[in-house]
Amino acid sequence: MQKRKLGQGLEVSALSLGAMGYGKARTIPDRPEMIDLLRQAVDLGMDFFDTAEVYGPWTNEEMLGEAFAGMRDKVKIATKFGWDIDQTTGEHRGGVNSRPAQIRSAVEGSLKRLRTDYIDLFYQHRVDPDVPMEDVAGVVKDLIAEGKVRYFGLSEAGAQSIRRAHSVQPVAALQSEYSLWTREPEAEIIPTLEELGIGLVPFSPLGKGFLTGKIDARTTFSENDFRGQIPRFTSEARAANQALVDLIRAIGERHAATPAQVALAWLLAKKPWIVPLFGTRKLARLEENLGALSLTLADDDLRQIETGAAAIRIEGARYPDAILQRSGL
């Protein structure tokens, strides 16, 4: 498995597997199957896995803890704090909470659920406007000194927040949405990360499945599929955005690769410190995505993608307005 270095020397597999899709509820009906898939990912060479206390809350971390029992030395686990979760009952009260006491309670809970003595990468899930970034970074710095955390990360933070946190405790990675159809980080975030030596872990690198080429304007979503609420996934938006999938499919045909592999390979080609984070519930999709590591896009391929993408206007917001406002995005 190819390796990449994020910031502060954190070395991980070149692709990361996110467990969010395996369960964000208090019960996970197919938990044994998802645990098996996580273990199969390790067998395939992956060592970088992502979860969060808010997924459930708590049940997702517990699942990873069981999955990786007895193989802690083979994996690097990233988890997140920062939502207002009652640390006794697990009730998600809504809103953010990165007060120092909350962070300390969160890390103790995550360590217990993950069945580990340390967390490899501890992200602030969302910036808390009521708590100075310097205070957040200071608490994580102390946790690193205590050996409970190894590296500090941020998620969906702006450039100013990144700089303020980094000045107290060097940040290893930023997790933010970045893909061929979500390119806002290129304006300010990526230059900031490059300047400061911070790695990027892009989530939704396949556009929540759209860039796989397996979704089109005729696709219907189940009632519990969140994509049905996203403006970018209306049938009209999907019809307009199909041009982007057609572009990467044409590139893929040149290399006997799938659109998903091209989308991931494009991200991997952007910077050597980018480690895409994808989710899948199927072994075949896991293997397909890992195939992106064997795909090297030529300069002509990259130029064609850039030129073609520049001519395509992506329709629809990436989240509903209410979520954007609540998360500060």
Residues 6+ away with beta carbon under 8 Å from 36: none
C-alpha to C-alpha distance for 160 and 144, rounded to whole angstroms: 23
DSSP string of 239-259, one letter each residue: HHHHHHHHHHHHHHHHHT--H
Q: Which residues does residue 176 pair with via DSSP β-bridges, in sequence order?
A: 202
Active-site annotation holder among 55, 123, 151, 319: 55
55 is catalytic: yes
Classified as helix, coil or strand, 85 is strand
What are the distances in angstroms from CA 72 to CA 107, 208, 278, 286, 326?
Answer: 17, 29, 21, 21, 35
Cα–Cα dist 119/266, whole Å: 30
* CA pair distance 243, 310, nearest whole angstrom: 11
Catalytic residues: 55
